[in-house]
Amino acid sequence: MYKLFTLLCFVFLFTKSAKSQTSDSTKVNSLEQQFSDSIAQINEQNEHLKASRDAYNEGLILLKNKNYNEAIPYFTKAIGIDSIFFQAYLSRAKCYEKLDDDLAIADYLKTFELDSTNLLPLYAVASLYLKTDKSLAKEMYTTILSLKGDEYLAISQLGVIAFMAEQYEDAEQLFTQSLVININAYTLNDRGSCYRKLDKLDLAISDYLAAIALNTNLAFIYSNLASVYAKQGETHKALSYYDLSISKDANYALSYNNKASVLLGENKFEEAIIEIDRALVADAEYAPAFNNKGVINHQMKKYNEAIADFDKAIMLDDNYAKAYLNRGISKQMIRDEDGACLDWKKASELGIMMAKKYLANDCE
């Protein structure tokens, strides 16, 4: 009896042990399956990310080659696979900048939403606003400063907005505030231009010279300095700095044109014409050069040629008030009184006070 009981116990224990092994094996198999599924999922995610990055890289090549329309679908594909791929949003925004400002702004704002440590997308948005709505640009630069108060570039850009609104004292203060944080040639130039507008010519010269000392390659600073010397009647210095400006940028039409204005003031008509022609080689659609050429031809009593020059200036800029005024004066010289009065009326509507005097004296 005892032997039988012992045998039964052995069988029971053996059976129990077998069941335990089966259960442990099932658990192991389950864990292995879960691990295998996780690896498969990771591999699948990596494949998706690779596809996203591959599309992004294709887009970058097209963007670098300025194929903006062709690049956009690649960045869109990259974003479709990875919706938080902020670099793809940023690159697509750069493409949209060339095609659609609103879409560019949306992508720049999304980029900032995904990476709020990078303020460059907000600067890009402000720059786009600056083209159409200066109040929105001002708000964006103010927002940047609320996020980081020492952003000297944002302060400087607020100065540019004030300058464009002819608020020269406010602009000068903003440029000064920016320069306290970072001294650079661009902001010194801009403050110099405020001083020039405020007739603080010595301060303007000081800022322009300081800007040149920091960066000797910026043609527009030499040109601005030349304009101050011209305003002071220092013709030799003005011409010298216009030449320096041209030496830095042979295609800087404004310096040729302004040099011609100085020569015109000296009654050096032939030399002035040469500089005007050089300006038009640099930029065939530079309206002020055609206006100045018209003034020179008028002074040389070539009235029909002068009118043709003013025509070209107005064709390039139909709101060019001085060109209407000047064309009216030339038309009067060939006895086209009606044409002269129409031109002076247009110049008057565009804000030229002298045109009102011509209208009052010769047309009413």
pLDDT, residue 54, reads: 87
pLDDT, residue 25, reads: 56
Task: Give the start-end residues of each E strand in 206-328.
Answer: none
pLDDT, residue 8, reads: 37
pLDDT, residue 45, reads: 58
Residues 192 and 227: their CA atoms lie apart, in Å, by 11
pLDDT of 315-324, one tens digit each?
A: 999 999 999 9
Residues 146 and 241: their CA atoms lie apart, in Å, by 41
pLDDT, residue 40, reads: 45
pLDDT, residue 22, reads: 53
CA distances to 56, 85, 218, 230, 234 from 106, rounded to whole Å, are 19, 15, 34, 46, 51
CATH topology of domain 285-364: 1.25.40
All structural domains of the chain with their residue ranges: 48-118, 285-364
Residues with pLDDT less than 70, the chain: 1-46, 48
Residues 147 and 52: their CA atoms lie apart, in Å, by 32
Q: At what angle do helices 120-132 and 134-147 cross, to 10 degrees?
A: 160
Same topology for domains 48-118 and 285-364, yes or no? yes
Residues 317 and 291: their CA atoms lie apart, in Å, by 11
pLDDT, residue 190, reads: 98
pLDDT, residue 1, reads: 46
pLDDT of 102-123, one tens digit each?
A: 999 999 999 999 999 999 999 9
Quick one: 48-118 is in which CATH superfamily?
Answer: Tetratricopeptide repeat domain (1.25.40.10)
In 3D space, the residue among 217, 215, 216, 195 whose CA is nearest the CA of residue 206 turns out to be 195
pLDDT, residue 42, reads: 47
Residue with tokens 């309206």: 287
Q: What pTM does this model have?
A: 0.78
